[in-house]
Structures are given as C-alpha cells and as structure tokens.
Amino acid sequence: MTSPSHVPVLLDRVVALVAPPLQQPGSVMVDATLGLGGHTEAVLTRCPEARVIGVDRDVHALERSRERLAPFGDRVTFAHAVYDEIPDVIADLGLDHVDGVLFDLGVSSMQLDVRERGFAYAEDAPLDMRMDDTTGLTAADVLNTYPVEELTRILKQYGEERFARRIAESVVREREREPFTRSARLVDLIRDAIPAPARRTGGHPGKRTFQALRIEVNDELSVLRRAIPAAMGSIGVGGRVVVMSYHSLEDRLVKQAFTEKTRSDLPPDLPFVPEGHEPELRLVTRGAEKASAEEIAENPRAASVRLRAVERVRTSTGATA
C-alpha cells in the first residue's frame, strides 16, 4: 500500500481563526474532518488549554491520527462518525456545547494518496471512493446500477460536467459488455466521450466525473447541508465554526448557511435593531478567503480552497457575549 503525505491547507490562518475561544481552561474544539490530524496537531500545540474531539468517517485516517496525536494524551478524543453527527458525538461525551468546530471538506490527502482507495483518476485502482470503506455503495456500484438519467444528473449537478449525457450513455453501453471495476477503464471511456477540442482545456478529463462519483458515493452535499447548521448550533457564545471547502457547490452551501444565521430577521432599513433580534452569529471572514500564491506553489491542493468563519455572539434565547 502506498503511504500518504499530508500538508495541511491554510494551517496558520486556520489556527488563528479557531484559537481565540480556545485559550481558556476546559475549552473544546471539534475537528469534524480529522484526516491525518495536521490541523488538530497545530491547535493542540498552540492552544495548550484546549482539548480536541477528532471526528472522521474513515477508520484508516483515525488509526493514523491516533499515532500522530498520541503525545497529546487525553487532550484528544477520537470518534468514528460522519460530521453531521456532531451533536450526538458532543452529547455522548457529556458536553452541552463546544468552543469551535473545524471542517476541512472534500477528499483527504490520505484518501488521494493511497492508490487502493480509488479516489485518484491519475492511477489505475479499484473504483471504491468510499470515505468509510466499511459500508455503503462503491463508485463501481453506482456506475454499474444507476440508470442513464440518474448518472447524467449526478455528473451534471455534482461534477458540473458539460458532457454528462454522453459520458453516462457510454457508461451504460459499456457496462453491458463488462461491469466497471477499475478506474483506468473509466478514464479511457471519459476521454473518448469528450470531444477532442474540449479535452485540450480544463485539466484532466476525468476530474469532474470522479468528483461527482465521490460526492454521490459519500452523500457529501446532503451531509454538509445538515452538518453546518448542526455545528453552528453546537458552539457556545464566543465559539467559532471554520470551514474550508474546495469546490463551488460546497462553498455555496456554507455561504448560505452562514448568511442565514448572521443576518437579522428584521427589515434592513430600520434605524436600530431591537434587543433580541440581533443575529446569533457574526461573520469573522470577509467573504471567502483564498490561499496565497506562495502556499499554492508549495501545496497545489490549496489552489481551490475557500475559507469562511463565523462566531456566535448570542444564544438563540437572546443572551449576549
């Protein structure tokens, strides 16, 4: 098995955003997408009063992060769960709120770098793509069983693939000859289905299809749609939710959820906002922050990152910080 590398994206900026409420004794952050633990390691190092609950649906990532974070002892707790289950994880640990929640969305370094997981289109591998490879449909199952209309919808909606119908029709035709099991055959099919002029622009022709299959297999957008409000509801006053997303569909969901909670429920032309009608949260970042050219040069995976953060300023019942 190939060994994964891990360069955390926007490490210093992320720690700066989550750190303010983590300086107090007993403070707790949830790393909702623990992965190999790079961000959590930095938080535990730079915020010596803080504890972290590391959540991941990938049992292999949890094993690796346990090794990496062992020096921090009982300052880190591990949970095998999907990130929309954050409220349950917190409640099971006897907590009524936490002081921060961090999301680093999308596929992790480990999942991309370990060829056998089937996430990368650049190498031939089994078509799996499950973030939790102990349960659920694989990418091969999706390709071999979904009707052409559903495959087209997934490729168009999740991959923003212009040639979704052509690719879906080719998949359905070819699976009758032989079911799909490995990524190289799918990449060849995609390359043949996309017109030659389109193949010469926009990067690898398989990128959008592989993204769409991964999102479908892991139900990523539905999970995220539940997870962001759940995270915002789990932080106490002064607590922060920090989200890194890597494509427009994710970032749009995050932006909409943050906007809803940082906007007053009153008309914008009122001369003042009566007590109790102030927004529950405030935006910490101005729009979506991006990685610098220097970081992108050192870590190409940072090229598409969009970073947003909010802070709770009052409880839903009207108490303020």
Per-chain mean pLDDT for the chain: 89
pLDDT in tens, 42-51: 999 999 999 9
Binding annotation for S-adenosyl-L-methionine: 37-39, 56, 83, 104, 111
- 52, containing H or E segment: strand 51-56
- Measured distance CA(320)–CA(276) in Å, rounded: 9
Quick one: 113-218 is in which CATH superfamily?
A: Putative methyltransferase TM0872, insert domain (1.10.150.170)
Supply 79's token pair. Answer: 């949970």
pLDDT in tens, 216-225: 999 999 999 9
Percent of the chain with pLDDT over 90: 75
Q: How confident is the model at residue 203 (pLDDT cuts 50, 70, 90)?
A: confident
Please state, as a whole number, how many other Cβ atoms lie within 10 Å of the Cβ of residue 93. Answer: 14
- Asked if residue 300 has pLDDT above 90, the reply is no
Name the range with the highest mean pLDDT among 31-35, 270-274, 299-303.
Answer: 31-35
The answer to whether 40 touches 69, Cβ cutoff 8 Å, is yes
Report, in angstroms and rounded to the nearest whole number, the Rg of the chain calculated over CA atoms: 21
Quick one: 11-110+221-312 is in which CATH superfamily?
A: Vaccinia Virus protein VP39 (3.40.50.150)
The answer to whether 249 touches 274, Cβ cutoff 8 Å, is no
Supply 54's token pair. Answer: 């590391």
Half-sphere exposure of 311 (CA within 13 A, CB side): 14
| Over residues 176-203, mean pLDDT | 89
- Asked if residue 111 has pLDDT above 50, the reply is no
Please state, as a whole number, how many other Cβ atoms lie within 10 Å of the Cβ of residue 265. Answer: 10
Q: Which residue has the tokens 């992320």?
A: 14
pLDDT of residue 312: 97
Please state, as a whole number, how many other Cβ atoms lie within 10 Å of the Cβ of residue 316. Answer: 9
pLDDT in tens, 124-151: 889 999 988 888 999 999 999 999 999 9
pLDDT of residue 272: 62
- Measured distance CA(1)–CA(3) in Å, rounded: 6
pLDDT in tens, 75-104: 999 999 999 999 999 999 999 999 999 999
pLDDT of residue 2: 37
Provide the strand spans (E) within 156-304: 235-245, 281-283
| Over residues 210-214, mean pLDDT | 93
* Gap between the terminal Cα atoms of the chain: 50
Domain boundaries of the chain, sorted by first residue = 11-110+221-312, 113-218
- Asked if residue 271 has pLDDT above 80, the reply is no
Instruction: Determine the residue type at 305.
Output: V
This prediction's pTM: 0.88
pLDDT of residue 320: 44
- Asked if residue 112 has pLDDT above 60, the reply is no
Binding annotation: 37-39, 56, 83, 104, 111
